[in-house]
Amino acid sequence: DIQLTQSPSFLSASVGGRVTITCRASQGISSYLAWYQQKPGKAPKLLIYAASTLQSGVPSRFSGSGSGTEFTLTISSLQPEDFATYYCQQLSSYPLYSFGQGTKLEIK
C-alpha cells in the first residue's frame, strides 16, 4: 500500500501570509496526487488534481507542485476562509486510494 505523510500536521499563519504544506509518498506516484480542503463539519472540497492543476472555481492563490514522491501545496496571501484542514490523496494505486493524515492550518 502507498502511504502518504503530510508535514507539518499543524500550521499557524497570519492573514496575508504564505504557507507551504508537503506531502510525501512512500513510493513514486508520478503526478497522481490531489489536494482537498475541509472545514469543520463540512465535506472535503477538491482544490488541485494531477499535482498542479487547479480545480475550476478555486482561487489562484492556491498552487500545487511536485511529482514522484514529493509534493507541495502553497497558499499565497492567506484569506480568513483558507483556515481549514488540508489533505493530499494519491490516485496512482487506484482503486486503493489513500489520503495523508491532514494538515490543520490555524490563524496566528
Partner 1 sequence: EVQLVVSGGGLVKPGGSLRLSCAASRFTFNTYSMNWVRQAPGKGLEWVSSISSSSNYIFYADSVKGRFTISRDNAKNSLYMQMNSLRVEDTAVYYCARGGRGVVTATPFDYWGQGTLVTVSS
**Binding interface with partner 1 (CB under 8 A):** 32, 34, 36, 38, 42-46, 49, 55, 87, 89, 91-92, 94-102
**Would you say 4 or 19 has its CB closer to partner 1?**
4
Q: CA–CA distance from 23 to each of 3, 4, 61, 90 (Å)? A: 10, 6, 19, 10
- Which triple of cell numbers denotes residue 28? 513514486
**Would you say 34 or 78 has its CB closer to partner 1?**
34
**Would you say 17 or 54 has its CB closer to partner 1?**
54
Least distance CB 73 / partner 1 (angstroms) = 14
**Would you say 17 or 55 has its CB closer to partner 1?**
55
Q: Are the C-beta atoms of residues 103 and 8 closer than 8 Å to each other? A: yes
Which residues 6+ apart lie within 8 Å of 92 measured at CB?
2, 25, 28, 29, 30, 32
Least distance CB 24 / partner 1 (angstroms) = 15
- Which triple of cell numbers denotes residue 96? 486503493
Least distance CB 77 / partner 1 (angstroms) = 25
